Amino acid sequence: MNPNTAVLVIDTDPQANLSEALLSYACEAEADMVDGASAVSEINKTKMPTHLTEATILGYLFSQMSNGPQPREGFSIRDFATQVSKINKNMPENLYLLCGDYRLDSLEPMVQDQMNASSTAFVDPFSRWMSTLRGFAKDFGRAIDQDVILFLDCNPAMTVYTQIALCSADKLIMPVNSDEFSSSALRKAFSLVYGRDLPGGDLAPFERKLFAMKVKNSLAASDPNRRVHVAKLHLVVDNKSQIHGNQKVLAFERLSQKHCEIIHQGYQSSLGVEEYAQYGEEERRRLDAPAHQRIFYMAGREESNPANFEEFRRLFSGTMRDMQSCGVASATSGLPLWLLKRNSGHLKKKTIINNTKGTESTIQDFIGPQREAGVGAPVNRPHHFLPALLGLTGTAMMAPAWCNYFWVATKTGKIGELPGKPDLEGPCVKRRRLSL
């Protein structure tokens, strides 16, 4: 998480809100400002000089189809990625974006047709498509000769491109709102993403066609190239929580506890469960069993399970307070949080940003001491349900699209900061600030 590491963001949501936020550019000279939506629209309709398609998620997936467009002379995989700082000068130079595309939904039927084709001795269409974006990230890293950390922003629906994103990630972060609908969504995620608690019976033949079941069954393949791994649950984030001081409002706290109880029940029901008893001994040795290690991100904790509910909650649950107009201004202007002020010169003169101090402490509150491995918890934008992320090197974390700093828990007892940036106050463990 430093200038020597490339940060690649892939926007798989057809609304392309993340791309719009990153590519918005606010500055004091109004003539130089860039509207993020206009920038995304321009990228969506402009074909690359080195390829017969656009530098977007749609363009890349289209190029991977058997009848897709072919590259021209001089093409490099890096041509698909937009260097964000060339449009939004408030962002660091090592941030790259595979831009979202408003037309992405139109490609889904074609991808489904190719993905559902029969396997051959040489190619399995399902595993090939599920590894598409992971392959893009690796190829991109080789092209720029840098380590890459990848963040994927997903559609709330289980579309085929959401499935591809989930299979391109090591860790899954699920932000939820403080309502009963989110409680229901959490339960469904265990079935739709991990294939748990399916009713079976007469519906079993249909369930075998579900994404989650295809992933589980692929793990028994003798050919490692045909095995598909889905992101493991890393964190459930309670979004837009109302916090007074260091405490959640009671109503938010009760729903937050209920959300954690749901995922804890999923953990308990999968603890030590052998999912592949029907396979032979050789296949069972290859599989990610028991079930809780396939579903929950247990890196470094495989041999030591959470002792009780409170310890589980510290490990797998987090809080993101409502950032109010500070978050809105940051997302719509493309300004990192540390550049925002109550009357920001980068914004229109009448723009008043409230709660900037509270927003600063939110980053610290959210990270908290629960990341015992020494890595801060991820932060996410407030209105997405299934973002996934991948760390090709090191440990990946999620941060708001408009924030170019991550916080990492440190046990050194000192607080370090980058030159020229004010230190933030907060009630949690001591931290150091790292640049993207």
DSSP letter string, 192-204? HTT--S---GGGH
Residues 143, 278: one domain?
Answer: no
Segments in 193-306 forming alpha helices (H): 204-207, 211-218, 250-270, 281-286, 291-295
Residue 322 lies in domain: 176-379+407-436
How far apart CA 402 and CA 383 sit, in angstroms, is 14
Q: How confident is the model at residue 242 (pLDDT cuts 50, 70, 90)?
A: low
pLDDT reported for residue 421: 33
pLDDT reading at 231 higher than 50: yes
pLDDT reported for residue 102: 95
pLDDT reported for residue 47: 92
The token duo for 379 is 């932060």
- Residue 375 maps to a domain: yes
Residues 161, 212: one domain?
Answer: no
- Residue 102 maps to a domain: yes
pLDDT reported for residue 245: 57
How far apart CA 31 and CA 404 sit, in angstroms, is 24
Least confident of 113-122, 130-139, 189-198, 345-354: 345-354
Domain's final residue, options 139, 168, 197 = 168
Residues 269, 213: one domain?
Answer: yes
pLDDT reading at 113 higher than 50: yes
The pLDDT tens digits for 121-143 are 788 899 999 999 999 999 999 99
Cα angle 138-387-235, degrees, rounded to a multiple of 5 = 105
243-244 and 247-248 beta bridge pairing: antiparallel
Q: Three-state DSSP class for 82? A: strand
pLDDT reported for residue 249: 65
- Answer yes or no: are the C-beta atoms of 62 and 80 closer than 8 Å: no
Residues 237, 279: one domain?
Answer: yes
Q: Which residue has the tokens 């998620």?
A: 57
pLDDT reported for residue 382: 29
- Answer yes or no: are the C-beta atoms of 212 and 386 closer than 8 Å: no
pLDDT reported for residue 284: 61
Cα angle 339-344-346, degrees, rounded to a multiple of 5 = 80
pLDDT reading at 435 higher than 60: no
pLDDT reported for residue 86: 94
pLDDT reported for residue 197: 81
Q: Name the E strands within 302-435.
A: 317-321, 388-391, 405-409, 431-435
Closest CA to 59 of 76, 45, 75: 45
pLDDT reported for residue 397: 33
410, 411, 415, 421 alpha-carbon torsion, rounded to 10°:
0
- Residue 40 maps to a domain: yes
> How many CB atoms are closer than 10 A to CB 417?
12
pLDDT reading at 252 higher than 90: no
Q: How confident is the model at residue 269 (pLDDT cuts 50, 70, 90)?
A: confident
Residues 215, 85: one domain?
Answer: no
Convert 136-172 to b/e letters by CB count within 10 Å (16 or more is b): bbbebbeebebebbbbbbbbeebbbbbbbbbbbbbbb
Residues 159, 194: one domain?
Answer: no
- Residue 385 maps to a domain: no
Residues 304, 429: one domain?
Answer: yes
| CA torsion through residues 264, 364, 98, 22, sign | positive
Specify which of 67-76, 247-256, 301-310 reaches the highest per-range mean pLDDT: 67-76
* Residues ≥6 apart with Cβ < 8 Å to 319: 237, 238, 241, 243, 248, 256, 365, 366
- Residue 400 maps to a domain: no
pLDDT reading at 196 higher than 80: yes
pLDDT reported for residue 413: 27
- Residue 430 maps to a domain: yes
| CA torsion through residues 406, 407, 410, 413, sign | positive
How far apart CA 52 and CA 321 sit, in angstroms, is 44
Q: How confident is the model at residue 350 (pLDDT cuts 50, 70, 90)?
A: very low
Higher pLDDT, 318 or 382: 318
Convert 240-264 to b/e letters by CB count within 10 Å (16 or more is b): bbebeeeebeeebbebbbebbbbbb
Q: Which residue has the tokens 């980068």?
A: 346
Segment 346-367 mean pLDDT: 48
Higher pLDDT, 436 or 363: 363
Residues 218, 350: one domain?
Answer: yes
Residues 302, 372: one domain?
Answer: yes
Q: How confident is the model at residue 46 (pLDDT cuts 50, 70, 90)?
A: very high
DSSP string, 380-400: --TT-S--EEEESSS------
Least confident of 39-48, 153-162, 251-260: 251-260
pLDDT reported for residue 279: 63
pLDDT reported for residue 387: 36
Residues 98, 51: one domain?
Answer: yes
- Answer yes or no: are the C-beta atoms of 138 and 47 closer than 8 Å: no
Provide long-range contacts, Cβ within 8 A and 24+ apart, for 62-65. 62/107, 64/129, 64/132, 65/110, 65/111, 65/114
Residues 250, 108: one domain?
Answer: no
- Residue 389 maps to a domain: no
Higher pLDDT, 292 or 27: 292
Residue 94: DSSP 8-state: T
Q: How confident is the model at residue 31 (pLDDT cuts 50, 70, 90)?
A: confident
How far apart CA 186 and CA 176 sit, in angstroms, is 8
Q: How many domains would you assign to the chain?
A: 2
The pLDDT tens digits for 143-191 are 999 999 999 999 888 899 999 999 999 999 988 887 788 888 888 888 8
pLDDT reading at 352 higher than 80: no
- Answer yes or no: are the C-beta atoms of 341 and 352 closer than 8 Å: no
Mean pLDDT rounded to a whole number for the chain: 74
Residues 201, 297: one domain?
Answer: yes
Segment 248-253 mean pLDDT: 68
pLDDT reported for residue 224: 84
232-241 and 171-176 beta bridge pairing: parallel
The pLDDT tens digits for 359-409 are 555 544 444 333 333 333 333 332 222 334 333 332 233 333 322 222 222
Least confident of 10-24, 25-39, 366-380: 366-380
pTM: 0.77
How far apart CA 235 and CA 122 sit, in angstroms, is 37
pLDDT > 90 fraction of the chain, expressed in percent and rounded: 31
Distances (CA, A) of 427 to 45, 188, 195: 47, 35, 39
pLDDT reported for residue 246: 58
- Residue 69 maps to a domain: yes
pLDDT > 70 fraction of the chain, expressed in percent and rounded: 68
pLDDT reported for residue 281: 65
